[in-house]
Amino acid sequence: MAMSYSFARAALMSARVLEIKSEAQEVVVMALDVMTRELRMAGFSAAAQPLGAIRAADREYVEIATDLNGDGDSDDPNELLAYSYDEQKRELMRATGGGSPQPLARNVPPNGLLFSYFDAAGSEIPVASGGMTAEARQRIHRIDVLLRAELANPDPSATQPLTSTVSISVCLRNQ
């Protein structure tokens, strides 16, 4: 009876660990899917007007502009997007139209969101303290994003949380 209990308990714990790992991976993949689609559209203008694609760029923050309706500006809803990291809440935040940021992914540890920027030749563009200059932002051709989610391990004997880390490279199609 004791062996059966131990086996069933171990199997149940293993299934729970896999479920939590899957949840962490799902959070990261979903958030990166949304970010990929929106970052790729940076600088798009339905009216074919020049538009500053990257409005702000830092290691844990990026703001992009699009002109989806062709009116020549990025003042409309969903035309100005920002992604940032909230260290206190441990969340990836997404803001639209200059509004207040809303959580896109929870359980993001410190250094769990990192943006790296590259020019058309593939050279990394350094990010100065306080963000990138306007000249440097104009050179951005590709953005690499690293996102990590970290959830508590349900196994009481485990000391490390369960994590999922995914990175992507997004070429800005309008740059």
Q: Which of 113, 131, 130, 112 is nearest to 54 (CA)?
A: 131
Q: Average pLDDT of the chain?
A: 90
pLDDT at site 119: 96
Residue 165 φ then ψ, to 5°: -125, 130
3-state secondary structure of 86: strand
Please check whether residue 172 is in contact with residue 39, taking contact to mean a CB–CB distance below 8 angstroms. Answer: yes
The ranges assigned to domains in the chain are: 38-171
Per-residue pLDDT of the chain (175 residues; tens, 9 = 90+): 777 767 777 777 778 878 888 888 898 999 999 999 999 999 998 888 878 899 999 999 999 999 988 888 888 888 999 999 999 999 999 999 888 999 999 999 999 999 999 999 999 999 988 899 999 999 999 999 999 999 988 888 888 998 999 999 999 976 6
Q: Which residue has the tokens 């990590």?
A: 148
Distances in whole angstroms, Cα of residue 91 to Cα of each of 25, 81, 83, 85, 141: 15, 16, 10, 6, 26
